[in-house]
Structure 1
């Protein structure tokens, strides 16, 4: 059986763009994907967000949370992508301030972790993305893209993830032995 630690990040910016396009017709799913890959927040904490957390917020504003897993303080900052997806989501229909952002269509309760895992798997399949994807893919994608495409170091990602040390973050993101071998070819 596959463990949650073996879920893959989405490594391709083209694949991310394809999933954004795919989910655009469903504003809730689109917001979930965009917020997940742009925040680095655990899925369980994302699912607890309610409409009132975002009322009156603008790009650059922070929303503080207490992580359910660790009890540590963390935050989500609204970047332009999250803000656009949030506007699209809020414009679809009137939302009460106590509504969960990521509510089930069958109830007013938040989606389950398993449901989100299935959604992520279906998005990956829809764009023919090979790998092992699930709920943790969103958070892992954040770290992978930050590291590979923006050059963010493990120490900063460790702080963002509230991990105990950078080695945990390296394992979490999935550093491959080939990456370590590649640096041995750098001439100094």
Structure 2
């Protein structure tokens, strides 16, 4: 299994979002939900319009942990969702398949979408967790609040969280780059 990294460069992240918004609103919303909530792809795919329409928060039971998760919807995400769902019914999936009727896309399809767009912009070591890790990485860079991220991600300890979002690797890389003897 390959190690999945966050998207560290905010310029590249902005380019990806701009591209997705023009190319496919569904894919744009999937990616936007991922980077603004830090949810796993399995939880994003089960969201329906009724889970976000006119609401301040997303409430769901995480598929992996079976824990209740309450996520306040960021105002940027809220505006994007409002436009996206304006002509949709409450029972529709946010990330609906074009071929399966009222069913979400598969995790494999989500991976292909993320992989293709990241490849287009030269981002390597990606997967569906890239969106979740991007959320964590940038939140950490803004706040340095490891304890809160640990709680958001349901990690047992802070070192797991830092390793997960790629901060440890950044520090290791910086150590190698800074080494000099004379």
What residue in structure 2 maps to residue 151 of structure 1?
A: 143
Quote how far apart the aligned CAs of 1:166 are. 1.3
Residue pairs, 1:38-187, within 5 angstroms: 38-57=36-55, 61-91=56-86, 94-107=87-100, 108-127=102-121, 129-148=122-141, 150-174=142-166, 175-176=168-169, 177-178=171-172, 181=175
Moved over 4 A (4+): none
With normalisation by structure 2, the TM-score equals 0.88
Quote how far apart the aligned CAs of 1:179 are. 6.1
Q: Matched residue pairs, number?
A: 174
Q: Which runs of 5+ in 2 are unaligned?
A: none
Partner deviation per Cα, 1:30-67 (whole Å, 9 max, x = no partner): 1111110011111111111001111222xxx1221111
Please give the alpha-carbon distance, in whole angstroms, between the structure 1 residues aligned to 2:174 and 2:60: 35
Please give the alpha-carbon distance, in whole angstroms, between the structure 1 residues aligned to 2:32 and 2:109: 17
Match of 1:10 among 7, 11, 18: 7
Aligned residues of 1:45 and 1:67 also touching (Cα < 8 A): yes
